[in-house]
Amino acid sequence: MTDSVQRDSAVLVHFTLKLADGSTAESTRSHGKPALFNLGDGSLSPGLEAELLGLKVGDKKAFSLQPEAAFGASSPDLIQYFSRRDFIQAGEPEIGTIMLFSGMDGNEMPGVIREISGDSITVDFNHPLAGQVIHFDVEVLEIDPAREATNANPVG
């Protein structure tokens, strides 16, 4: 067990993400369930991982990340236009609705309906928080909790 967050740590945290206008985009505290992240597995941005490195259990940290270090810049290549007839089976979409679309590789991708104009429907496949400065509040609850459980209960 290590006493601080390392490059390959599993970290149990409470976090709150706020936007520049002060609104809360997401918070683990609102539903009382902390999140488990594995550093180095690609699920977190390098900028976010860098802010967590060295923190100890009980540490709280507030910081802001620019779009490129958080959820990425908004890419115009990820905004696509569909015909209204493409939505016949799904029903009439509403602006702001998140819908799942099948990608060319067969995987599903979420897209946000941004605009409906006549027969044209604009869908944004960027992450909903892309292009925004994100203000983070994190509290480290445990470091490597899964590994401790694994070591305490050997299988085999």
Whether the per-residue pLDDT at 152 is higher than 50: the answer is no
pLDDT number for residue 90 = 83
For the stretch 72-79, contacts whose Cβ atoms lie closer than 8 Å and that sit 24 or more positions apart, written own/partner, are 72/45, 72/126, 72/127, 72/130, 72/131, 73/130, 73/131, 74/126, 74/130, 74/131, 75/126, 75/130, 78/124, 78/125, 78/126, 79/114, 79/122, 79/123, 79/124, 79/125, 79/126
CATH fold label, 76-124: Thrombin, subunit H (2.40.10)
- Does the reported pTM lie above 0.75? no
Q: What is the pLDDT of residues 19-64, one digit of tens each?
A: 999 999 999 998 889 999 999 998 899 999 999 999 999 999 999 9
For the domain spanning 10-72+130-149, the CATH number is: 3.10.50.40
Q: What is the pLDDT of residues 65-113, one digit of tens each?
A: 999 999 999 999 999 999 999 988 888 889 999 899 888 888 888 999 9
pLDDT number for residue 1 = 55
Q: What is the pLDDT of residues 125-137, one digit of tens each?
A: 998 899 999 999 9
Whether the per-residue pLDDT at 116 is higher than 90: the answer is yes
**15, 21, 49: which is closest to 133 by C-alpha?**
21
| Domain limits, the chain | 10-72+130-149, 76-124
Angle in degrees, CA 3, 156, 39, rounded to 5:
30
DSSP string, 92-141: ---TT-EEEEE-TTS-EEEEEEEEEETTEEEEE-S-TTTTS-EEEEEEEE
pLDDT number for residue 92 = 82
